[in-house]
Structures are given as structure tokens and as C-alpha cells.
């Protein structure tokens, strides 16, 4: 397969194994610049393993794995991030004993950030006013929604080209989930490319351009968001039609 010019992430035949257990079994996936692509599937389908493998946090093997034309195989997570690809992990995983400010500072640590850290931070605080209010509070004292915003803001501090979001709506109240999806939409409007892993299929397909459906570590379905919304399998399994 030849990557079209606007392909930001290209993955061919990715396998993720934890010992004898194969979590992901030879998937192909592409993300083009400016898109929101969603990875859907039930618990244990291999969605998070795929994201972790892309950033180098999970053991992986692939025939081809490129970001912006550069090979990602064997590249450690810190180098992947410096190249402009970052992950907001499942469960937020903010540094709870550090303040909001310190979390942001680490996100924009000198080595990682590709923009001016002060300007990026000012932009984050303008975009997430609640974080400005809580700047000197420990991250562990924030609500779940606030922690999710912090986790996203912290990832954005490295001025990435591609943001991987792992279950950003997990465990949040419905109105907070709406805010998070609005935020994801607004990030795309600012030119950010997003690969979104979600169990909230309906809302994901509303904001995504394309999607993949994973089951047992394999891609079962793929297509545009409209095609997936219309597919009987998705209707039956996820949209309750």
C-alpha cells in the first residue's frame, strides 16, 4: 500500500501480544491529516492496545508503522511524542499529587514541546478556564471531568499533530461527556488530527469522519461515519435499533 500525501498515520499488519495473549491481530489503519477517526468496539476488543502500541507503550509488531512518513517501529514513547504524536490514556491518569500547573508544565516540558511553552499554556488556560481557576490545586482533587480536561490540556501542551484519545468519556456524567465531545470537535476545527477510541458509539460517529470497528483484535468493519451509522451490525450491536 502506498501512503497518500495527506496520510499522517499508516499502520499495516499490527499485532500486539502480551505473552501468549494476542490482543490485536494484524490490523491495518490509516489516519489522514485533519480527520477524526474513531476506533469502536466492546471491552477487550483491542482498542486501547492499539493506541498503546502506536505510542510505544505496548509490545508491537507490524509490517509498516509510520507517522508523518517516519518509521515508528522500535521508537520509545518519549521520542514518538517529540515527533508530534501523543496519547491521552484511558482513565485520565493525571499526576494526582502534582498541581494542575505542574501537570501542564510537564506536558510542555522543554524537550517535548514544539511551540513556545508559555504561549501554549496561556492558550490552554484560555480554552480550559476551569483549569486556570484550579491551577494551584492538586490534580487528584479535581472532579472526573476536570481531570479529563487536564489530561487533554496536558497532552496538547506538546503541540501535537496527532492526538490519540483513549475513552475520554469513560465514567463521566452525561453533561460532562457532551462537553468533552464538544471539545474534541473544536480541536479538529483548529486543525488537530484525532484518533479516538470510544465505547460511546453514537456520539463518536457524530463527530468522526471515519471509523473502524474492532472485535477480538481484528477489524470487523470500517468506513465513513455515515456508512457505519447506517450499517445493520452497528445498529444492532451499538445503537440499539
- For the bound state, the minimum distance from the C-beta of residue 6 to other proteins, rounded and expressed in Å, comes to 25
- Note whether 172 binds other proteins by CB under 8 A: yes
Name residues contacting other proteins, limited to 114-143 (CB under 8 A).
138, 140-143
The HSE-up count of residue 169 (CA atoms within 13 Å, CB side) is: 21
3-class secondary structure, 189: helix
Which one of 4, 69, 129, 171 is in contact with other proteins (CB under 8 A)? 171
Among 22, 68, 98, 135, which residue sits at the site for other proteins (rule: CB under 8 A)?
Answer: 98
- Count the Cβ atoms, other than its own, within 10 Å of residue 139: 24
Contact 232, 239 (CB under 8 A): no
Of 4-12, 104-112, 192-200, 232-240: span binding other proteins (CB under 8 A): 104-112
Taking alpha carbons only, the member of 58, 93, 56 closest to residue 76 is: 56
Residue 107 CB, shortest distance to other proteins, in Å, is: 6
CB of 85 to other proteins, least distance (A): 10
Contact 125, 103 (CB under 8 A): no
- Smallest CA-to-CA distance from 147 within 134, 156, 157, 159 is with 134
C-alpha cell of residue 112: 517535548
Residues near other proteins, by CB under 8 A: 55, 57, 76-78, 81-82, 86-87, 89, 93, 95-98, 102, 105-107, 109-113, 138, 140-144, 147, 154-155, 158, 171-173
Amino acid at each position: 500500500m502506498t501512503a497518500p500525501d495527506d496520510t499522517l498515520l499508516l499502520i499495516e499488519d499490527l499485532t500486539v501480544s502480551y505473552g501468549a495473549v494476542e490482543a490485536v491481530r494484524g490490523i491495518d489503519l490509516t489516519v489522514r491529516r485533519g480527520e477524526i477517526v474513531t476506533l469502536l468496539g466492546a471491552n477487550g476488543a483491542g482498542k486501547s492496545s492499539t493506541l498503546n502500541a502506536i505510542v510505544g507503550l505496548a509490545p508491537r509488531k507490524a509490517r509498516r508503522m509510520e507517522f508523518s512518513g517516519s518509521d515508528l517501529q522500535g521508537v520509545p514513547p518519549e521520542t514518538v511524542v517529540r515527533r508530534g504524536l501523543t496519547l491521552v490514556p484511558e482513565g485520565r491518569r493525571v499526576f494526582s499529587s502534582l498541581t494542575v500547573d505542574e501537570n501542564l508544565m510537564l506536558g510542555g516540558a522543554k524537550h517535548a514541546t514544539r511551540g513556545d511553552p508559555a504561549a501554549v499554556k496561556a492558550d490552554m488556560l484560555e480554552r480550559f478556564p476551569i483549569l486556570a481557576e484550579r491551577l494551584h490545586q492538586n490534580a487528584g482533587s479535581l472532579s472526573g471531568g476536570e481531570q479529563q480536561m487536564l489530561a487533554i490540556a496536558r497532552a496538547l501542551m506538546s503541540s501535537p499533530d496527532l492526538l490519540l484519545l483513549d475513552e475520554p468519556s469513560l465514567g463521566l456524567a452525561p453533561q460532562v461527556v457532551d462537553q468533552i465531545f464538544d471539545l474534541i470537535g473544536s480541536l479538529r476545527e483548529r486543525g488537530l488530527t484525532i484518533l479516538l477510541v470510544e465505547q460511546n458509539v453514537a456520539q463518536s460517529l457524530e463527530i468522526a469522519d471515519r471509523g473502524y470497528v474492532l472485535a477480538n483484535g481484528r477489524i470487523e468493519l470500517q468506513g465513513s461515519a455515515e456508512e457505519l451509522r447506517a450499517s445493520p451490525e452497528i445498529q444492532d450491536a451499538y445503537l440499539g435499533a
